[in-house]
Amino acid sequence: MIYQKPKGTADILPGESEVWEKIEKISRETFKVFGYQEIRTPIFEDYNVFARNVGDTSDIVTKEMYDFHDKGNRLLALRPEGTAGTVRAYVENKLYGPEYPKPYKVYYMGPMFRYERPQSGRQRQFNQIGVEALNSESPEIDVEVISMAILLLNKLGVHNVKLVINSLGNDDSREKYRKALIEYLEPYYDNLSEDSKKRLYKNPLRVLDSKDEQDKKIVANAPSILDYLDDYSTKYFEKVKKLLSDLEIKYEIDNEMVRGLDYYTHTIFEIMSDSKAFGGKWTTVCAGGRYNGLISQLGGPDKGGIGFGMGVERLILLLKQENPDFLNAKGPKLYIVSADSQGDKLAFELMDKLRKKGVYVEKSYSNAKVGKQIKDASRRNADYYVVIGKNEVRSHQLKFKKLDSDTEKLASFEELISNPQDILN
Ligand code: ATP
Ligand code: MG
């Protein structure tokens, strides 16, 4: 019996895992200069951290969650996203106390789970790198979070993206808009999809996010949320736009964008690409927004927050297309070829000494012919190789040859060990 991985999951194998490490490293470095620190929360949480007693009507929560009862009959769910768990931890650990910085800035990276139909860039276990600025309510923070996402993409070598923003306003604005939307949609009731019918009175904003073609046509002429924002929400959104322009960040406004979760308020955004990697179809790589009601819904103070989640699988598809160099995994600095058993003994010692100095070295572990070992060096993409046989054992003089050129360097065994970086550069 050969087992297969569950549908919608992936093995990240050597070769690819280096890419993940590099993305994670650049993310950490980027977040650090903005003052974000890592938070690690459980992969599963109480079901209601996400559902909030079915206050959430989104697909993610109502249809796609991996929820289950454990052996103690607790209702749990594998996290479908990072924000709710982070807010749960923030509230439980009272990180809003006066002794903590405000905003409280954190980032996370790890797997998320959604029961979706797997396809390119869409899995059931996928990964997000995300940030949250908790205990914050300021257009500056919103723009900081957006600019950080764009900077991260740029640092990864992705430049061809567009930023799309919208505002959902505060509760008052949303309530007014909700009413207007119901009024607009009611005459079309019979033509709406079953999902949208169900959502019309519970959360009509969800209808705007419907993927159903008929729904999309109906929604095309719906009133715009932007016409229902109250004074505070309008000014807030104006300020966000002004600050984006001050930082020379280009954006488009999409007043139909509502995002996939119910807790958003005010600023929401998506960073999209129509790269060949996505068959030229506009695809969201990074998405986020402000959630001013969520902290209090989860038992904390009435404070706001904003964050984003970047889908790592989609990011890698994009990187492969837009910045192929990013993926070139480095081979060993040096590959030691041994010509005979005496040489092999010295090679083994040399390898040990160099590794202790932090140099990536490989050798052959078989008694293959010299030519075969050199081929192996090339297959492993080594920078240099050196052949060690009787003569080298006697003289301790070594000749290093660069694999992709005629460059040769001479150095003694001892020189190499005391100064490997210089000799193998
Ligand atoms: P979509 O509309 O593409 O389903 P979403 O609105 O459900 O996206 P979010 O919940 O905002 O997505 O998650 C943020 C990012 O996480 C997405 O932009 C995407 O890059 C990634 N993502 C979401 N779901 C998946 C998935 N099933 N597989 C891979 N990546 C995903
Ligand atoms: Mg989705």
**CA 223/CA 205 separation, integer angstroms:** 11
pLDDT of residue 329 exceeding 80, the answer is no
Query: According to the model, what pLDDT value does residue 263 have?
Result: 87
Write the pLDDT tens digit of every residue in 209-239.
888 999 999 999 999 999 999 999 999 999 9
Measuring from each residue's beta carbon to the nearest atom of ligand 1, which residues come in under 6 Å?
81, 114, 116, 121-123, 126, 128, 260, 284-285, 287, 309, 311, 313-314
Residue bearing the bigger pLDDT, 53 or 319: 319
Q: Say what the pTM is.
A: 0.91
According to the annotation, is 290 in a ligand binding site? Answer: no
Is 264 labelled as part of a ligand binding site?
yes
Closest Cα to atom 25, ligand 1: which residue?
122
For ligand 1, the distance from its centroid to the CA atom of residue 408, given in whole angstroms, is: 50
* Architecture per CATH, 334-424: 3-Layer(aba) Sandwich (3.40)
How would residue 202 be classed by pLDDT, with cut points 50, 70 and 90?
confident
Name the CATH superfamily, with its identifier, for domain 16-170+230-326: Bira Bifunctional Protein; Domain 2 (3.30.930.10)
CA–CA distance, 99 with 101 (Å, rounded to integer): 7
Q: For ligand 1, pick from 126, 161, 310 the residue to mutate: most ligand atoms within 8 Å of CB.
A: 126
Q: Which ligand lies nearest to the CA atom of residue 314 in the structure?
A: 1
Give the atom of ligand 1 at the shortest distance from the alpha carbon of 284. 18
Residue nearest to atom 11 of ligand 1 (CA): 287
Q: How much is the mean pLDDT over the chain?
A: 95
Is residue 128 part of an annotated ligand binding site?
Answer: yes
Q: Would the annotation count 373 as a binding residue?
A: no
Considering every ligand atom shown, identify the ligand nearest to the alpha carbon of residue 115 and give its number. Answer: 1
The answer to the question of whether 174 is labelled as a binding residue is no
Residue nearest to atom 19 of ligand 1 (CA): 311
Ligand nearest to the CA of 117: 1
For residues 363-370, average pLDDT: 92
Binned at pLDDT 50, 70 and 90, residue 366 comes out as: confident
The closest of 112, 115, 111, 123 to 65, measured between CA atoms, is: 115
Among left, alpha and beta (phi > 0; psi -120 to 50; other), residue 169 is left
Q: In 3D, which of 319, 315, 267 has the Cα closest to residue 288?
A: 267
Ligand 1, atom nearest to 60 Cα:
7
194 carries a ligand binding annotation: no
Point out the ligand 1 atom lying closest to the alpha carbon of residue 59.
7
Q: Is 371 annotated as a binding residue?
A: no
- Of the listed ranges 47-56, 115-124, 155-164, 391-400, the least confidently predicted one is 47-56
Q: Ligand 2 centre and the CA of 303: distance in Å? A: 27
Q: Is 124 in contact with 6 (CB distance < 8 Å)?
A: yes
**pLDDT, tens digit, for every residue of 75-88?**
999 999 999 999 99
Q: Tens digit of pLDDT for each residue in 50-71?
A: 998 777 888 899 899 999 999 9
The continuous run of DSSP H or E covering 125 comes out as strand 125-134
Which ligand 1 atom is at minimum distance from the Cα of 121?
29
Where in the chain are all domains bearing CATH 3.30.930.10? Answer: 16-170+230-326
Three-state DSSP state, 91: helix
Q: How far is the CA of 311 from the centre of ligand 1 (A)?
A: 6
- pLDDT for 9-23, tens place per residue? 999 999 899 999 999
CA distance linking residue 304 with residue 134, whole number of Å = 6
Strands 252-253 and 75-78: unpaired
Question: Rounded to whole angstroms, how far apart are CA atoms 148 and 169?
Answer: 23
Q: Give the ligand 1 atom nearest the CA of 260.
A: 6
